[in-house]
Structure 1
Amino acid sequence: MTLNFNTQSTLISKLRPWLILSTLLILATLVSFALGTYISFTSQAMLFVLIVAIAAYLLDRWQSVTGAVFSVLLLNFFFVPPTWTFHIEHPEHLIALGTMLIVALTINQLTANLKQKTVQALQNEQRARQLQELAIGLALSETVGGIQELGKRAFEQAFQAKCYLVLSNLAPTAQQLESLSQQQIDGLHHCMKEMQVLGAGSLRWGELNDWYIPIGNKKVGIGAALIQAKASDDHDNQAHAQAICSLLTQAFERLRFNLQMQSAQNEAQKQQLQSTFLAAISHDLRTPLAVMVGAASALRSQGDNFSQAQQAHMLQSIVDEANYLTSVTENTLQLVRLSETGSQLHRDWESIEEIVGAVLARIKQGRIETRLQANIENDLPLLRLDPVLIAQLLSNLIDNALKYSEGIVELEVKVDQHLVPPTLHIAVMDHGPGIPTAEHNSIFEAYSRLAKHDQANQRSAGLGLAVCRAIAIAHEGQLIVNDREGGGSCFVLSLPIPQSPFIHPENGGALP
């Protein structure tokens, strides 16, 4: 039933133009009969010329040519004496009919050319718009898969056929292998190898029903496109397909150059970082080493000549310089580690109270530190983090606060449930001279020092805060500094609180 319906629809679509032509010829004949007593033979001929012009506009070339011939025959048969015959008595009638036939065919030819140019102009406009949209889409695409999908869609839209786009450095997907025949796979490989158009519209493998178009150039072969079902060998189709391929080539080349440029930038940053580290070692490690060597040599060679107080002072200077070297070395190693791409953190579910407690115990060890006050909320959630790095971050912040300020240093740990996701805030607040607003970002750069700290003879390698921010970023958090009312600085570490795997909603949020 469906097959018969489709067959009837196809038959009707084929017969419709001829029915239109027949209707126009019958209409012209009836109008000529109706007006025959009022108009001349010339006017009757003009009616048929009008019908020829309408047919040329509505129908294709051969149908309109047929209409022109039948118009002359109908005019001769019904309206040229002797009527109802094809015999022509007067030569002027023969000339009139011949002239009418020539005029009708000329109108047909001009109308057909106009239609063809109109269709071509509309097609060129659509293709230009498609290329413009494709260029915009490719400019915004930053992945190989995105460019590949845009190219495939552009070919299918342009040629109304199933298309595949295969890249030379990527094997066809399983879905493509299932859909393509061995001949088509061989055609794609040969197209990419030779970088020439194959199939319909080309001088090679022109008998194929598929069209193979290379993407790239002779120097760099990127891939090939396969258009299933025979594509027209029209020159405009080839030019449009090559324009699409040119846009795809530029997009793939742009992506490749961007990756190379990013790689070069990363390598340059790595080299710059290494050079900076070498400069820091030569500058920041040489002085404490010289002090340690000098003090140790003096104690060994002339220790008996120094008083106990002088010996104790030298020993303390050795200890202080060794601690300073340890701090610089740890910060340098951590900064190198965190700066490397692909570095992995040793994360685990940790209690922030235990980390803060361990840091406070280390700072207070061996001395009575009454300036440090801690305010920690109860029932803090577990965080998935690297405890060693977080402890180093807090140690750097607290040590800096104690070193560069006088008075109470406050440590505050609390949770902000109003943020999404909920966030843990650790604030280290002091009553020191503060940090100029213009330097709130620069102090987190490696080897950055505040001028007033240098003037106060406070030695620093400028690595501590850089390491702190790198640790915060590695934990998807942030570290900022704000000014306090009444003077001083407030360093705030914000860490997102992930969903703990130990919490089960079905148990009412209780631990298992």
Structure 2
Amino acid sequence: MSLILDLYPVRWALVLLLLAAATAFGLLIDSYVSLTSQAMLYVLVVEIVSYRLGRLEAAVCAVGAVAALNFFFVPPRWTFAVDQREHLIALVVMLFVAFMTSRLAAGLQREARAARLSEGRARQLQELAMRLSAAAAMHEVRTIGQAALQAAFGTGAILTFADEGNSVPEAAQGICLPLGEQGRVFGMAVIPAAAAQEQEGLEHGRTLAALLAQALWRLELDEAVLAARSEAQRHELLNTFLASISHDLRTPLATILGASSSLQTQRDRLSPELQSRMLGSIATEARYLTVLTENTLQLARLSDPVVELHRDWESVEEIVGAVLARVRPQDSGRRIRSVIPAGLPLLRVDPVLLGQLLINLLDNALKYAEGSIEIQALYGPGRIDLCVSDCGPGIPVALRESVFRPYSRSDRSGQRGAGLGLAVCRAIAMAHGGILVVEGREGGGCRFRLSLPVELQQPLEESS
């Protein structure tokens, strides 16, 4: 309805229609009412036009109403002459009342329009603040901000960011509002000059620009916090590595150097048995250094927040089989038993990393526990759990979380280790979107449970 009333010819046609309707109704009830009641009909028409249309239409309607009343109803009828002073005064008073009514109604309409506009702007600012609080990237802020500016000021509003190399088009005419302060300006918002002529509109544009600047500042601070946290983690890892290198690397290197030097300089004086033990020590310490180096490099790689995995569709049976084949030389007593049900869905994982995780868990079980060791696969809704269980002394509840921290290990076992294996295992699990926890086991011992997500969209089997 408001769109139709915005058309210029329609507005004047409505004025004429209302005056004609009042005149027709007045003629219809002429014999039943007085001149004063007929004048009230025209006053009602003037009020309607004043509230629904503009001030110009209301003024013209007031003059037309007085003229129609004089022509059709004031004696002598069908002329614009007035034969009595009372009637002339009534017409003048009616014209004055009509003008005052139209002015008051126009003011009321203007205030109502301003109130609706203020309410709409307040609602827009509230919705914009809520949407910007959930934005996680600059392009999201740009999309939200551009839509808000165009909703408030029309399609002529433009949002540009300095960091994206954008510039304001030469054809853009309007008022430029900076996004930020002098110390840090992220860009600018350009709103049409016509839309910002009123003070309230300009203030609304400045508030929109301030909200956008706050959202961009928040994103920049979040990135800085993440970068600082990542850098702090790298420094912490480096410091702990340097702190442990004095023992975890010096001892095996000293053993290798001493044994190799003895074999090189005094080989003729050493018995075959002693030479064999020295060569075994060299091989053992070299294997220990290899595992320590691989775990250290893998932990440093997985500490990178943007690490890329070489994922592929793999079956649990094949991964566990490859892991058991590599661990068998250390399992001379055949303590490891696998329970892998058939028909498990495929996992989209990095097979090398997942294999290293299981090998670390089985090595720990062989080193710290006695008795049988079981590796088991359990299929649940949306996940597969790989569990490595042993019958060892177990891990106290208070220490179950600390064992996953780098270079953190218990001294109760007397076994040598740098405390990197379980930290690497958890990092691998997190990189795959899974979790790794340690639990108590009935009858003693502990169970390391790795939960990996299963993708619903499984690959199609190749036809033979």
TM-score range relative to shorter protein: 0.7 to 0.9
Q: Which amino acid aligns with 2:23?
A: I
1:206 corresponds in structure 2 to none
Q: Do the aligned residues in 2 keep the contact of 1:29 with 1:74 (CA within 8 Å)? A: no
1:363 corresponds in structure 2 to 330
1:13 corresponds in structure 2 to 10
Unaligned runs of 5+ in 1: 1-6, 173-181, 189-197, 203-211
Q: Do the aligned residues in 2 keep the contact of 1:352 with 1:380 (CA within 8 Å)? A: no
For residues 286-365 of structure 1, the aligned pairs below 5 Å read 286-289=250-253, 320-346=284-310, 351-352=318-319, 354-364=321-331
Choose the corresponding residue for 1:503, options 412, 437, 461: 461
2:382 corresponds in structure 1 to 420
**Structure 1 residues 474, 51: closer, same or farther in 2, change over 3 A?**
closer
Q: Do the aligned residues in 1 keep the contact of 2:299 with 2:427 (CA within 8 Å)? A: yes
Choose the corresponding residue for 1:128, options 88, 107, 122: 122
Give the Cα separation in 2 of the matches to 1:127 and 1:500.
Answer: 49
For residues 131-146 of structure 1, the aligned pairs below 5 Å read 131-146=125-140
For residues 54-69 of structure 1, the aligned pairs below 5 Å read 54-69=48-63
Choose the corresponding residue for 2:399, options 439, 451, 458: 439
Per the TM alignment, residue 497 of structure 1 is displaced from its structure 2 partner at its CA by 6.3
Per the TM alignment, residue 217 of structure 1 is displaced from its structure 2 partner at its CA by 4.6
Give the Cα separation in 2 of the matches to 1:349 and 1:100.
Answer: 89
Per the TM alignment, residue 378 of structure 1 is displaced from its structure 2 partner at its CA by 6.4
TM-score if structure 2 supplies the norm length?
A: 0.80
Q: Secondary structure, in 3 states, of the residue corresponding to 1:410?
A: strand
Q: Secondary structure, in 3 states, of the residue corresponding to 1:455?
A: coil
2:436 pairs with 1:479: yes
Q: Do the aligned residues in 2 keep the contact of 1:352 with 1:382 (CA within 8 Å)? A: no
Choose the corresponding residue for 1:455, options 382, 393, 412: 412
For residues 31-430 of structure 1, the aligned pairs below 5 Å read 33-35=30-32, 39=34, 45-78=39-72, 80=74, 84-88=78-82, 91=85, 93-161=87-155, 165-170=159-164, 185-187=169-171, 198-199=173-174, 215-225=179-189, 231=195, 233-289=197-253, 320-346=284-310, 351-352=318-319, 354-364=321-331, 368-375=332-339, 385-412=349-376, 414=377, 416=379, 419-420=381-382, 423=384, 425-430=385-390
How many pairs were matched up? 456
Q: Which amino acid aligns with 1:128?
A: A
TM-score if structure 1 supplies the norm length?
A: 0.74
Q: Do the aligned residues in 1 keep the contact of 2:349 with 2:432 (CA within 8 Å)? A: yes
Give the Cα separation in 2 of the matches to 1:150 and 1:358.
Answer: 56
**Structure 1 residues 239, 313: closer, same or farther in 2, change over 3 A?**
same
Per the TM alignment, residue 347 of structure 1 is displaced from its structure 2 partner at its CA by 5.3
1:193 corresponds in structure 2 to none
Q: Which amino acid aligns with 1:185?
A: P
Bigger RCO (CA 8 Å, 6+ sep) = 2
2:23 pairs with 1:26: yes
**Structure 1 residues 111, 130: closer, same or farther in 2, change over 3 A?**
same
Give the Cα separation in 2 of the matches to 1:378 and 1:78.
Answer: 101
1:191 corresponds in structure 2 to none
Q: Secondary structure, in 3 states, of the residue corresponding to 1:34?
A: coil
Give the Cα separation in 2 of the matches to 1:80 and 1:497.
Answer: 91
Give the Cα separation in 2 of the matches to 1:99 and 1:384.
Answer: 89
Give the Cα separation in 2 of the matches to 1:475 and 1:43.
Answer: 86
After superposition, the C-alpha distances for 1:113-163 in whole angstroms (9 at most, x for unaligned) are 011001110111111111111111111121222222222222333345465
Q: Do the aligned residues in 1 keep the contact of 2:395 with 2:440 (CA within 8 Å)? A: yes
1:178 corresponds in structure 2 to none
Per the TM alignment, residue 22 of structure 1 is displaced from its structure 2 partner at its CA by 1.6
Give the Cα separation in 2 of the matches to 1:375 and 1:48.
Answer: 96
> Equivalent pairs: percent with the same residue?
44
Unaligned runs of 5+ in 2: none
Q: Secondary structure, in 3 states, of the residue corresponding to 1:471?
A: helix
Over aligned residue pairs, what C-alpha RMSD do you find?
4.1
Q: Do the aligned residues in 1 keep the contact of 2:46 with 2:102 (CA within 8 Å)? A: yes
Per the TM alignment, residue 280 of structure 1 is displaced from its structure 2 partner at its CA by 2.2
Per the TM alignment, residue 43 of structure 1 is displaced from its structure 2 partner at its CA by 5.6
Per the TM alignment, residue 26 of structure 1 is displaced from its structure 2 partner at its CA by 0.8
Q: Which amino acid aligns with 1:430?
A: D
